[in-house]
Amino acid sequence: MDKMKLAAKAVRGDEEAFLALMDAERHRMSRIAAACLHNESDVLEAIQETVCRAWLKRRDLRQPEFMSTWLVRILLRVCTDELSRRKRQPAYGRVDEQLEQLGAERFGAKGSMDEAEQIAGRLDMDALIESLEPPYREVIQLKYGRDMTLMDIAAALEKPPGTVKTWLHKALKQLRGQLPAPAPRKEEQHGKRS
């Protein structure tokens, strides 16, 4: 059965259709939540909350063909709520937890310095993205973390495509301004060799 029919049945209260739709959207929602939250347990919690909110509000969806976009919007709100909650928490516990999780996932017993440098770079980039204002951060996360098109992002955020393009441009400009200047290449330092 296609997603349109499942969505129409789900809106009318068919639990099996709703569960089938949630199963079909689970991977997509996981990737979006991971791009926003960077923590596996928070991702799972956000998805669970999204599914609960969607079930409770399913009758409010007027156009079932937009079920996927509607779910992304709910998920983004849940992620924003979680990020707001995190800001109210003391930071020291979260940093230790994240570093421990990164070390266990990526290093295992044997970690190389190259891996450590890559992770440090990734953490620096994540910190830069987190420093952006919420609309800019969301656009960057959806565009590059989720690989969504500008039109999909505009639909998910309920904003005109031009606004999304502007936010993306401003976000990239802010990120470029915060990044350190690249080191000169060997060719540039010693002159070009023939």
Helix, strand or coil, per DSSP, at residue 31? helix
For residue 193, pLDDT over 80 is answered with no
Phi, psi of 176, deg, nearest 5: -60, -40
Contact 54, 60 (CB under 8 A): no
Please check whether residues 79 and 123 belong to one and the same domain.
no
For residue 93, pLDDT over 60 is answered with no
For residues 4 and 179, the model is more confident at 4
Confidence label for 107 from pLDDT (cuts 50, 70 and 90): very low
The chain-wide mean pLDDT, for the chain, equals 79
Range of the domain at 152: 112-181
The answer, as to whether pTM is greater than 0.75, is: no
Please check whether residues 84 and 4 belong to one and the same domain.
yes
Please state the rounded mean pLDDT for residues 167-171: 89
- Please indicate, yes or no, if residue 102 is contained in any of the structural domains: no
- Please indicate, yes or no, if residue 68 is contained in any of the structural domains: yes
Pairwise CA distance, residues 94 & 150, whole Å? 32
Counted domains in the chain: 2
Length of the chain: 194
CATH number at 157 reads: 1.10.10.10
Please check whether residues 137 and 53 belong to one and the same domain.
no
For residue 33, pLDDT over 50 is answered with yes
What would the pLDDT profile of 62-72 be if each residue is shown by its tens digit? 898 899 999 99
Place of tokens 């079932």: 64
Please check whether residues 141 and 80 belong to one and the same domain.
no
Residues 105-143 as b or e (16 or more Cβ within 10 Å = b): eeeeeeeeeeeeeebeeeeeeeebbeebeebbbbbbbbb
- Please indicate, yes or no, if residue 69 is contained in any of the structural domains: yes
CATH number at 44 reads: 1.10.1740.10
Please state the rounded mean pLDDT for residues 33-37: 89
Please state the rounded mean pLDDT for residues 115-128: 64
Please check whether residues 139 and 62 belong to one and the same domain.
no
Please check whether residues 117 and 167 belong to one and the same domain.
yes
Please check whether residues 54 and 125 belong to one and the same domain.
no
Contact 156, 76 (CB under 8 A): yes
Phi, psi of 191, deg, nearest 5: 80, 160
Please check whether residues 13 and 81 belong to one and the same domain.
yes
